[in-house]
Amino acid sequence: MECNVPTDIAFSFSGFAMRGGAKGPHADGWGLALYEGRRARVLLEPTAAATSALARHVRDYPSKTLLAVAHVRRKTRGTASLANTHPFHRELWGRSLVFAHNGTVRHARTLPLGRFRPIGDTDSEYAFCALLAALERRFGDRYPTRPTELWSAVAAIGARIGRGGTFNFLLADGSHLFARCATKLCYVVRQSPFGLATLADDDVQVDFAALTTPGDRVAIVATAPVTRDEAWVHAESGTLGVFRGGQLRATLAS
């Protein structure tokens, strides 16, 4: 979720968490990163989100943010453990970078990692470390002054790593949400005029018109639509979406 004003995550997270073991097979761990400026607060558990007391607390406790990344895991490589639970996070350029991946990158362990090292044994974390190393080689120790140069770099590096498998990912840096579609990814932008939204995986409905102001914008990105009555857009394979200020700012070949 990426927004132009601090927004409560409870509604979208409630539906998403159901896919972690109740309405989907992704029961091997869950995680949530909530940004406060350049720093992310990260919650991780190597258990099913649908039955987690911590996930229930997140669903019930109001928590607003401009940028959040959540993930429910179905293991393909690596055990169900805290070290292998997404989203992964590292420091680069004096800010938290957060990454979540859906798919398999078969050659991940052959990628150059620079100073970044995986803690777990998933191909996802190896790919994340390689992506960070490539960004650091490109821009050095300072955050890029021209955002469009960063956008292009993430798209190009994502394409290069993605040649080795299925590389659907979300990458957040505190200012942007990057969303790469290899096979399956979609998004919706909630903005005026707001209306009713019903979760696809739970019998919960919200009237956003009663909770928002006309200038609010919220972008939600997911593998599959989280609601069943909003106009979700399905991204094209081989593209990177760049979200900032609650809207899609660019779509790049990747």
Kindly give the confidence (pLDDT) of every residue in the chain, 254 residues in length, as a single tens digit, with 9 standing for 90 and above.
Answer: 999 999 999 888 887 888 876 667 787 889 999 999 999 999 999 998 888 899 889 988 888 999 999 998 877 777 889 999 999 999 999 999 999 999 999 899 999 999 999 999 999 999 999 999 999 999 999 999 999 999 999 999 999 999 979 999 999 999 999 999 999 999 999 999 888 888 887 777 888 878 788 999 999 999 999 998 899 999 999 999 999 999 999 999 99
What SS3 class is residue 108? helix
pLDDT of residue 19: 80
Regarding the domain delimited by 2-253, which CATH topology (the fold level of the hierarchy) does it fall under? Glutamine Phosphoribosylpyrophosphate, subunit 1, domain 1 (3.60.20)
In this structure, the number of other CB atoms found within 10 A of the CB of residue 186 comes to 17
Token pair 């991780």 is at which residue? 44
pLDDT of residue 203: 72
- As a whole number of angstroms, the longest Cα–Cα distance in the chain is 51
pLDDT of residue 49: 87
Q: Report the C-alpha gap between 78 and 61 in whole angstroms.
A: 32
pLDDT of residue 157: 98
Domains of the chain by residue range: 2-253
Q: How far apart are the first and last CA of the chain?
A: 21
Structure tokens at 100: 């979540």
Q: Report the C-alpha gap between 239 and 226 in whole angstroms.
A: 21
Burial group, residue 8, by CB count within 10 angstroms (0-12, 13-18, 19+): middle
Alpha-carbon distances, residue 67 vs 2, 21, 178, 180, 216 (angstroms): 5, 25, 11, 17, 14
Token pair 């539906």 is at which residue? 15
pLDDT of residue 18: 80
In this structure, the number of other CB atoms found within 10 A of the CB of residue 197 comes to 22
Structure tokens at 83: 């070290």
- C-alpha closest to that of 1 among 254, 246, 202: 246
pLDDT of residue 66: 97
Q: Report the C-alpha gap between 168 and 72 in whole angstroms.
A: 14
pLDDT of residue 59: 86
Structure tokens at 125: 């974390």
Q: Report the C-alpha gap between 106 and 9 in whole angstroms.
A: 33
Q: Report the C-alpha gap between 26 and 175 in whole angstroms.
A: 28
In this structure, the number of other CB atoms found within 10 A of the CB of residue 246 comes to 22
pLDDT of residue 197: 86
pLDDT of residue 99: 98
Q: Report the C-alpha gap between 52 and 65 in whole angstroms.
A: 22
